[in-house]
Amino acid sequence: MLPSRPQPPQRLPAVFSPYPSTDAPGLRGADLDRASERRGDADWVAGLRPQADWLPIWRYRCAIDEGQPQRLRWAELAAEPERAIFLGLRPDDGRAVFCFDASHDNDLGERLRFADLRGAVPVLETADAALLAYARAMVYWQRQHRHCGRCGGATQPRQAGHVLHCPACEVEHYPRSDPSMLCLARDPQDRALLGRQPQWPESLYSVLAGFAEPGETIEDCVAREIWEEARVRIHGTRYVASQPWPFPASVLLGFHAQAQADTPQVEQDELADARWFSREELAEGLSARRLHVPPPFTLSFLLLARWYDEAAPAPLLSLLPGPGR
Ligand SMILES: [Zn+2]
């Protein structure tokens, strides 16, 4: 069974982050016992199916209606899904939850409302958003691995959909999450380094981000990304929080870093702009709606808010327009 979730202790030494943190970003905390040790028991998994909740994913979109994930029952499925994925058991009533790729079911595509998960997060309960993030990530991984990356043979699901086996060369493929770093760098004046990608709206700024490359540590990756994107040198990173990010297959790791007093430059890389923002500049821009930051469910926002709220008269969240923000 799912162990009861620990409550954050009142006091912890400064090197530890409380778990779960009280301002954790969204897309985490699915209320589910993953029962990973029982996935290999095919009879047990098959026995769960008739009473289970079924979450369809249609072309990477999730079935959501009036702020609720749409759960289908066994009798509503046109046929048994070929590659059903067991997600886990609900801790309240033990009911199993499965997801499946419904992309070829045009009837279902018309009958249900399918929405982009990123846009729907603000209207979903936190646990529901996390469940759909898990489902979307699993369906994406299965779709991307229908053929073996080693020999090209067709793969077959095992372990209730959590392993894809290649019968031709006996390789097993497992779900992957690509680590991606987000970092809020702070200069000696305690200003925050924020950047804007060229395809974003002109008023939107966020912390800098990049993928870890083979052969480097997470700390190396953070320093390299900030140097490559903004020509700013950092000398120290501190881990803050993480977030699953199934768009399409990442886990985001969030940091604060101490930076040198370098002037940001962006000509050498992909950013359209990068600047130091004081708390006052950020507050003025957000209040006047000429500046925007990522929504509160994102790790980017959490990194920004943790910095801003250290020394501001009101929380960063209070500067955003509501509801839904
Ligand atoms: Zn193979």
How many whole angstroms from 177 Cα to the centroid of ligand 1? Answer: 21
Q: What is the count of structural domains for the chain?
A: 2
Q: Is 324 part of a structural domain of the chain?
A: no
Full domain range(s) for residue 45: 36-146
* Gap from CA of 63 to ligand 1 centroid (Å): 33
CB 322 within 8 A of CB 123: no
Distance 174 CA to ligand 1 centre (A): 13
Residue 10 lies in a domain: no
Starting at the earlier edge strand, list the strands of the sheet with 156-158: 156-158, 163-165, 172-173
What residues contact residue 277 under an 8 Å CB cut-off, 6+ apart?
Answer: 191, 192, 193, 194, 205, 285
- Angle subtended at Cα 133 by Cα 170 and Cα 19, rounded to the nearest 5 degrees: 100
Residue 160 lies in a domain: no
Ligand 1 centre from 144 Cα, in Å?
14
Does residue 247 sit within a domain?
yes
Query: Three-state secondary structure along the chain?
Result: CCCCCCCCCCCCCCCCCCCCCCCCCCCCCCCCECCHHHCCCHHHHHHHHHHCEEEEEECCEEEEECCEECCECHHHCCCCCCCCEEEEECCCCCCEEEEEECCCCHHHHHHCCEECHHHHHHHCCHHHHHHHHHHHHHHHHHHHCCECCCCCCECEEEHHHCEEECCCCCCEECCCCEEEEEEEEECCCCCEEEEECCCCCCCECECEEEECCCCCCHHHHHHHHHHHHHCCCEEEEEEEEEEEECCCCEEEEEEEEEECCCCCCCCCCCCCEEEEECHHHHHHHHHCCCCECCCCCCHHHHHHHHHHHHHCCCCHHHHCCCCCC
**Domain edge (last residue) among 91, 125, 146:** 146
How would you write the pLDDT of the chain (325 residues) with one tens digit per residue? 555 555 555 555 555 555 556 567 788 888 899 999 999 999 999 999 999 999 999 999 999 999 999 999 998 988 888 899 999 999 999 999 999 999 998 888 889 999 999 999 989 999 999 999 999 999 999 999 999 999 999 999 999 999 999 999 999 999 999 999 999 999 999 999 999 999 999 999 999 999 999 999 999 999 999 999 999 999 889 999 999 999 999 999 999 999 999 999 999 888 999 999 999 999 999 999 999 999 999 999 999 999 999 999 999 999 998 754 4
Could you tell me the distance, in angstroms and rounded to a whole number, from the CA of residue 40 to the centre of ligand 1?
A: 21
Residues with CB under 5 A from ligand 1 (ion): 148, 150-151, 153, 166, 168-169, 171
Q: What is the predicted pLDDT for the residue at 26?
A: 84
Q: What is the CATH number of the domain that holds 98?
A: 3.90.79
Separation of 155 CA from ligand 1 center, angstroms?
7
Instruction: Return d(Cα 308, Cα 256) in angstroms, integer.
Output: 12
In this predicted structure, what is the pLDDT of residue 28? Answer: 86
CB 140 within 8 A of CB 60: yes
Q: Determine the distance separating the centroid of ligand 1 and the alpha carbon of 227, expressed in angstroms.
A: 40
225 and 292 both lie in a single domain: yes
Could you count the other beta carbons within 10 Å of the beta carbon of residue 232? 22
Give a yes or no: residue 230 inside a domain.
yes
Instruction: From 182, 204, 134, 198, select the one nearest 298 (Cα to Cα).
Output: 182
How many angstroms is it from 165 CA to the middle of ligand 1? 8
Residue 198 lies in a domain: yes
Q: Scanning the structure block, which residue is given the tokens 């090209």?
A: 152
pLDDT at 37 (0 to 100)? 96
Q: Same domain, yes or no, for 45 and 137?
A: yes
Is the same domain home to 198 and 312? yes
The pLDDT value given to residue 152: 97
Q: From ligand 1's centre to the CA of 169, what distance in Å?
A: 4
CA of 244 to the centre of ligand 1 (A): 29
| pLDDT at res. 6 | 55
Distance between Cα 233 and ligand 1 center (Å):
44
CA of 47 to the centre of ligand 1 (A): 30
162 CA → ligand 1 middle, Å: 17
Contact 190, 256 (CB under 8 A): no
The model's pTM is 0.89
If you measure from the C-alpha of residue 282 to the centroid of ligand 1, how many angstroms do you get, rounded to a whole number? 52
Same domain, 116 and 53: yes
Q: Would you state the structure tokens that stand for residue 25, as one six-digit string?
A: 């970003």
Rounded distance from Cα 171 to ligand 1 centre (Å): 6
CA separation for the pair 296, 302 (Å, rounded): 7
The CATH number of residue 218's host domain is 3.90.79.10
